[in-house]
Amino acid sequence: MKNKNEPCTASTAAPSNSSVSECPIGVCPFTADLIEAAIVRDAELEALKARMALIEKWWHALVNDIDRYIEDRQTRF
């Protein structure tokens, strides 16, 4: 059993055969690292979604430009 005031480390966490960690929430650096990684991944996912939406917008604009070019060429000849 670990002292509730000391930071959680691999040696002070719950025994390896235990399914429950004895680290109090907000103290365990492993938990903090996981939360930080999840926040970073969420931000990266949102940025990726924004880039994908921008690429889709550009793609549709390109397709429309090509369609207009083809129509223009067909009306000239």
The per-residue pLDDT for range 54-69, each reduced to its tens digit, is: 999 999 999 999 999 9
Reading the block at residue 12, the tokens are: 């002070």
Give me the residue spans of the domains in the chain.
Answer: 26-76
| Whole-number pLDDT of residue 5 | 52
pLDDT tens digits for 11-43?
Answer: 544 445 554 555 665 557 777 788 889 999 999
pLDDT class of 2 with cuts at 50, 70, 90 = very low
* DSSP class per residue in the chain: ---TTSPP-TTTSS-TT-SS--PPTTT-HHHHHHHHHHHHHHHHHHHHHHHHHHHHHHHHHHHHHHHHHHHHHHHH-
Q: pTM for this one?
A: 0.50
- Closest listed residue to residue 3, CA positions, set 24, 33, 30: 24
Widest Cα–Cα separation across the chain: 86
